[in-house]
Chain A
Amino acid sequence: MSPASYIRVEGLHKNFGDIPVLRGIDLSVRKGEATFIIGRSGCGKSTLLRCLNGLESFDLGRIHVGSVDVQMSGGQPLSEKQVRGLRKQFGMVFQSFNLFPHLNVLENAIKALMVVKGMGRAEAEAVAVPILEKVGLKNQLFKYPSQISGGQQQRAAIARALAMSPSVMLYDEPTSALDPFLVDEVFQVMRQLADEGMTQIVVTHEHRFAREAADQVVFMEDGVVVEAGPAEQVFHSPADERTRLFLRKYS
């Protein structure tokens, strides 16, 4: 574990009933770094993201992020305080965007600011509008999710998460529900955030993008991290036979 790590995950175990999904995950992410997690569907990578921001509880292990330290030694669910601590650190972007369909783009981005942070509408808009403009939705503020393209929806979802000023952004297959033509506009936003120094963890099957943008690539299989390292190393000279097999099939 490098001392410069901002996120440290140690020995994370998670079962769904009798089925082990995470079997001792170790992971470390430095501040400002883009970490890409790759692996087959069902290898546990999405569950790992959901554990990080407290959408799923875990059974055993430790998540250390910034000043938040959540340790589980079996059984009991996460406390309200632990969950809140994790969620404050992480912003989350979902595969199917999960925008609130009854709210327009602007309202999507300010709702949590008003409800969670207790901001007034004007104050919340002052926070959210520049972010929405930055992701290129200046002209879509008053459109409803159903009235804009998938790429725009995903950018709105990113802006919504960013508005809460998390220190880390989590992306759960952010482009797999998108038309191939719309993928790049989302990547563009993620690149821009990386340039601004945002720490990001991305679960994806887009190896082309991972290769280009990742500071660290993590390959997972059967609930464990098989291999982690710089993109160049994992993609071109994987140390583990399983990584090699996977890349041959999916690249």
Chain B
Amino acid sequence: MKLRRLLSAWAVPALFLSSVASAAEPALLRWAADAEGGAPYVFRDPRNPSRMIGFEVDLMNEVAAKLGMKGQFVQNQWDSLIPGLKRGDYDIAANGIEITEDRKREVLFSDPYFVTYEQITVRRENQDIQSLDDARGKIAGTLKYSLAERMLRAHGGIEVRGYDSQTTIYEDLANGRVDFVLLDQPVAVYYGNPDPRLKSVGRPIGEMSYGIAVPMTNPALQQRINRALRELRNEGRLRELYDRWGIWNSRMSEEFQDYSPSKAPTELNSYLAAMGKKRDWRQQVLQYWSYIPLLARGAVTTLQLSAVGMLLAVSLGLMLAIVRIYLGGLPGFLAMAYTEVIRGTPLLIQLFFIFYGLPNIGIKLTPFMAAVLGLGLNYGAYEAEVYRAGLLSVPRSQMDAALSLGMSRWQALRHVVLPQATRVALPPMTNDFISLLKDSSLVSVITMVELTKVYGQLASTYYDYLGIGLLTAAMYFVIGLPFVRLSRALEKRFMRGRQPLV
């Protein structure tokens, strides 16, 4: 009882909030990016991690102001930025999205707001790598699925290691695990160059243009954004912005026909100062302490998702198990087919289908609803088997006894068989809940910012995967703990009148 009240107390405000959020105010320009991508695009301010900063944050605020609107940041997984845009979860997306022919078939792009290239970075003592042609037989590190990775593979003769996060790539370069790194120039400026063990070398390789993605259905917005970008450029605001962030480059000079020297990179400097700051242990503890509220907010989302998802999973699983055992026939077959299909396909793809696929047939769920539904429907398949095992563990004679007392099959099930089945099902159910708690991190692909996503954002900002990772792990452990205790207590209650086997 108490648990149910608690759950609804968590769930209701979340549902309410998400529905409020989807009814966007007209004055807001909702723009999406992935803050896990790191500096200098969109990232958590190392001085105040509850704040998002980055050159794209500044740019979006400038553009929004030109449009007479207020920019509002929406978090989404980088791979999902365009699907989310098509789905209508935000107005535009801007996060180092290169303008390519493939993507032009999906969305409209503004004129390029930034032009850049791929940069080679090597260890300071390295003399032999200046270009990709020098790099034959060497080991390259880069981001998975990036343009740089495609260029490296197309070039041939280079062993390519794909990474998930740029912070680790340069660390591996410094440690000698890879011979050189090929990544976008702004990334090299922020993650490679500051390391005294590394240097960037060679001529710019390739060229990419970042554009603001606008839905196909809104060419008017594309026009207004282009006008805003032109004005910002003509007023010198863009140049100022790129100088401040220290990412003005030779390609930009060509593009803007502006060869004047750069001004002081104040944002870059304050970023490096914040990152390079040596902290004594007391300051370090305070630093970690300052992450707690952010992680806690993520943990609340994780908990809401998992609790509501599990409630759905258990109800569904119970229903499926009952249908399969007591109804049989076609419904029983369908219940079995459901279990097999859902269990046999990846949760990630199911989430994508629910969130990005269903809108095609007119079903558009809020991210929270989609996440809960995805987790619930998926885990329901597992709970069905857990409950089936539980129900089958109750001897047929219990049903006979209940029926002989005049109970209907349903009454017998509810009052006699189920309580005994639940006792058996409880430990594996607790198992699944803990597992769901951690699987819920997958929902970051559908714009939900939960615990693991906050971890990714913080870790990529501070370059601290171990410390923040431990903190996050502790957080998962702590939020799972009450449920483990609850399950123990329930088990004990169900054990009343039973001799323990050992």
Listed in ascending order, the chain A residues whose CB lies under 8 Å from chain B are 53-55, 84, 87-88, 90-92, 94, 96, 98-104, 111-112, 115-116, 143-147, 157, 160-161, 164
Decide if B407 is an interface residue (CB 8 Å cutoff): yes
A55 and B497 within 8 A (CB): no
The distance in angstroms between the C-alpha atoms of A96 and B400, with both chains bound, is 12
The distance in angstroms between the C-alpha atoms of A100 and B402, with both chains bound, is 9
CB within 8 Å of A: which B379-423 residues: 397-398, 400-407, 411, 415-416, 419-420, 423
B407 and A104 within 8 A (CB): no
The 7 closest A-B pairs by CB, nearest first: A144-B497, A98-B401, A112-B405, A92-B404, A116-B406, A98-B397, A87-B406
A111 and B499 within 8 A (CB): no
Listed in ascending order, the chain B residues whose CB lies under 8 Å from chain A are 397-398, 400-407, 411, 415-416, 419-420, 423, 494, 496-499
Given the interface pairs A92-B404, A94-B400, the reply to whether A115 lies near B411 with Cβ below 8 Å is yes
B497 and A164 within 8 A (CB): no
Given the interface pairs A98-B397, A98-B398, the reply to whether A112 lies near B498 with Cβ below 8 Å is no
B498 and A161 within 8 A (CB): no
Contacts of A55 in B (CB 8 A): 400, 403-404
B497 and A146 within 8 A (CB): yes
Given the interface pairs A115-B407, A116-B406, A164-B406, the reply to whether A147 lies near B497 with Cβ below 8 Å is yes
Contacts of A103 in B (CB 8 A): 497
The distance in angstroms between the C-alpha atoms of A157 and B401, with both chains bound, is 9
CB-based nearest A residue for B395: A98
Given the interface pairs A116-B411, A145-B497, A146-B498, the reply to whether A98 lies near B406 with Cβ below 8 Å is no
Contacts of B416 in A (CB 8 A): 100, 111
Contacts of B420 in A (CB 8 A): 100-102
The distance in angstroms between the C-alpha atoms of A45 and B367, with both chains bound, is 62
Closest CB of chain B to A85's CB: distance in Å?
Answer: 11
The distance in angstroms between the C-alpha atoms of A101 and B499, with both chains bound, is 10
28 A-B pairs with C-beta separation under 8 A: A54-B403, A55-B400, A55-B403, A87-B403, A87-B405, A87-B406, A88-B406, A94-B397, A96-B397, A100-B401, A100-B402, A100-B416, A101-B420, A102-B419, A102-B420, A102-B496, A102-B498, A104-B497, A111-B405, A111-B416, A112-B405, A115-B407, A115-B415, A116-B405, A116-B411, A144-B497, A147-B497, A164-B405
- B497 contact from A54, A94, A101, A111, Cβ within 8 A: A101
The distance in angstroms between the C-alpha atoms of A87 and B403, with both chains bound, is 8
Contacts of A96 in B (CB 8 A): 397
B406 and A144 within 8 A (CB): no
The distance in angstroms between the C-alpha atoms of A106 and B346, with both chains bound, is 49
Contacts of B407 in A (CB 8 A): 112, 115-116
B405 and A160 within 8 A (CB): yes
Given the interface pairs A115-B411, A144-B498, A146-B497, the reply to whether A100 lies near B398 with Cβ below 8 Å is yes
Contacts of A53 in B (CB 8 A): 404
B404 and A111 within 8 A (CB): no
Closest CB of chain A to B406's CB: distance in Å?
Answer: 4
Contacts of A91 in B (CB 8 A): 404
Given the interface pairs A55-B403, A112-B405, the reply to whether A144 lies near B496 with Cβ below 8 Å is yes
CB-based nearest A residue for B404: A92
Contacts of B496 in A (CB 8 A): 102, 144
The distance in angstroms between the C-alpha atoms of A94 and B402, with both chains bound, is 12
Contacts of A164 in B (CB 8 A): 405-406
Contacts of A115 in B (CB 8 A): 407, 411, 415
Contacts of A161 in B (CB 8 A): 404-405
Closest CB of chain B to A173's CB: distance in Å?
Answer: 13
Given the interface pairs A55-B400, A98-B398, A112-B405, the reply to whether A146 lies near B499 with Cβ below 8 Å is yes
The distance in angstroms between the C-alpha atoms of A33 and B175, with both chains bound, is 95
Contacts of B398 in A (CB 8 A): 98, 100
Contacts of A146 in B (CB 8 A): 497-499
B494 and A87 within 8 A (CB): no
The distance in angstroms between the C-alpha atoms of A111 and B414, with both chains bound, is 12
Contacts of A87 in B (CB 8 A): 403-406
A101 and B403 within 8 A (CB): no
The distance in angstroms between the C-alpha atoms of A101 and B498, with both chains bound, is 7
CB-based nearest A residue for B403: A55
Known: A91-B404, A101-B498, A115-B407. 4 other contacts (CB 8 A): A84-B406, A100-B398, A101-B497, A146-B499
The distance in angstroms between the C-alpha atoms of A103 and B398, with both chains bound, is 12
A94 and B401 within 8 A (CB): yes
Closest CB of chain A to B426's CB: distance in Å?
Answer: 13
